Amino acid sequence: MSTTLPQLDAITGAPLIGTWASSLLYMAELHQAVYYFSNFKQDNWKLKSYVAAAFTIDTISVVADYACVYLYTITHAGDLVYLTKQNWAVPLHVISTACVAFLVQTFLAFLYWRFTKNTIIICFLSILILATLSAGFSTGLIVVLFPAFKDRNKVRISGTVYLITQVSADLLIAGGLLWQLMEAKSLFKGQRRINNMLNRLVSRTIQTGIGTAVIAVLALIVFLIDDKTNIPVGIMYTSGRVYVLSMLINLNIREFSGRSQNARTTSGQRGTVRITHGTTYNFTTDFYPSEPDRTSGYPVKSSVLATASIPETQPSEIEMVPADAKQVPEV
């Protein structure tokens, strides 16, 4: 049996560096989570439970990442046999990250559907999201059954499918949301406050949507070049954090005025901009289709609401609809 240590840079070094980057992102994620649960207490309990589930699973993934590095570098330091295998923390990381990706992609796809009601695209997105989850679970289970690095070729197909479908879903969701935001901007030319708000939403969508796709593409390229190392694993250590951050930022960006406010669909709230009929970005996802407007009596979408800073000299609420929408007179 060989007494030569394997290349530690690829086996333990890459995951170690990955945990450093992951730690920085997790601190940002924790900050965003505390902000959300502190400032949006009136959000529907289903949404808050959904966010809590994604955050909890991602925390499990973070713990698995630390455990993987600790077992390699401390508990089994110098153990040549152990260094030729993937420990239990690797499949746990893969499966938990796949679950986080599923939750966040479903959340963003749901937002897109609430804007557009485009059933065809949503069905295609659903197939990609489910394929990503299935391939992630398959990859994790294969690693459990065949932990040796020499058997990495057994996860080549499932791992490739996992990363490709993940990238496709991320880019399609981000592209769809960007398209809706740009359409909304075209409706409000010359309205500086609204355009500033939409510009911020465009920026956040690009940053969060492209971030996860870039990570997956890098991991895929490295994996296809050399599948006998932990470098792809180290790259993917940051993926779950970026996913949860994208969801939390999309929720927390509702606050623009610097004050702690809870976004609610009530007609008497000051400082809100409601854009209906799928022409803008949705943040208050209450998981129910509509609720009655307390002043006019007409049903309105409960989750097409974004908070903005509007001077008190202006009306407390501005209803914005497409130019060709039929106006219903107030009773």
Condensed to tens digits (0 to 9), the pLDDT of residues 205-235 reads 676 667 888 899 999 999 888 888 889 999 9
Q: What is the pLDDT of residue 311?
A: 37
pLDDT value at 74 more than 80: yes
| DSSP helix/strand/coil, 147 | coil
Please report the pLDDT score of residue 133 as a whole number.
97
Residue 218, both tokens = 């890098």
CA–CA gap between residue 37 and residue 51 (Å, rounded): 9
The pLDDT of 93-114, averaged and rounded, is 93
d(CA 197, CA 190): 13
Q: Please provide the average confidence, as pLDDT, over all residues in the chain.
A: 77
Average pLDDT over residues 124-144: 96
Q: Let me know: does 164 contact 224? Beta carbons within 8 Å.
A: no
CA torsion through residues 147, 236, 52, 127, sign: negative
- Report the pLDDT averaged over residues 137-154: 94
Tokens 């746990």 sit on residue: 92
CA distance linking residue 77 with residue 71, whole number of Å: 8
What is the residue extent of each domain of the chain? 8-252
Question: 294 pLDDT exceeds 60?
Answer: no
Which residue would you say has higher pLDDT here, 6 or 55?
55
Q: Within a 10 A sphere around the Cβ of 65, how many other Cβ atoms?
A: 30
For residues 128 and 168, is the Cβ–Cβ distance under 8 A? yes
Specify the amino acid at residue 225.
I
Backbone φ and ψ for 325, nearest 5 degrees, come out as -75, 140
> Which pairing describes strands 317-320 and 272-275: parallel, antiparallel, or unpaired?
parallel
**Which range, of 99-108, 118-127, 140-149, 181-190, averages the lowest pLDDT?**
181-190
List pLDDT tens digits, range 227-280. 888 899 999 999 999 999 989 988 887 754 344 444 343 333 333 333 333 333
pTM of the entire predicted model: 0.76
Confidence at residue 6, expressed as pLDDT on a 0 to 100 scale: 67
pLDDT average, residue stretch 63-84: 91
Q: What is the pLDDT of residues 26-50, one digit of tens each?
A: 999 999 999 999 999 999 999 999 9
Give the model's confidence band at 123: pLDDT under 50 very low, under 70 low, under 90 confident, else very high: very high
Q: Give the max Cα distance, the chain.
A: 87
What tokens were used for 272?
């809100």
Instruction: Assess whether pLDDT exceeds 70 at residue 297.
Output: no
User: Does 1.20.1070 match the CATH number of domain 8-252?
Assistant: yes
Q: What pLDDT was estimated at residue 289?
A: 34
Count of Cβ atoms closer than 10 Å to residue 35 Cβ: 16
Cβ(68)–Cβ(83) under 8 Å? no
User: For position 2, what pLDDT does the model report?
Assistant: 54
pLDDT at 174 (0 to 100):
85
Q: Considering only residues 289 and 149, tell me which one the structure prediction assigns the higher pLDDT.
A: 149
Residue found by looking up tokens 């996913």 in the block: 243
What is the pLDDT at residue 79?
87
- Comparing 61 with 301, which gets the higher pLDDT? 61
Query: Rg of the chain over CA atoms, in angstroms?
Result: 23
Mean pLDDT of 185-202: 71
The lowest-confidence range among 111-115, 122-126, 183-187, 314-318 is: 314-318
Q: What is the pLDDT of residue 330?
A: 46
113-127, 178-192, 222-236: range with lowest mean pLDDT: 178-192
- Distance, in Å, from the CA atom of 90 to the CA atom of 68, rounded to the nearest integer, reads 7
Burial of 225 (0-12, 13-18, 19+ CB in 10 A): exposed
Structure-block tokens of residue 293: 């407007």
Does the structure show a pLDDT above 90 at 111?
Answer: no
- The pLDDT value given to residue 319: 40
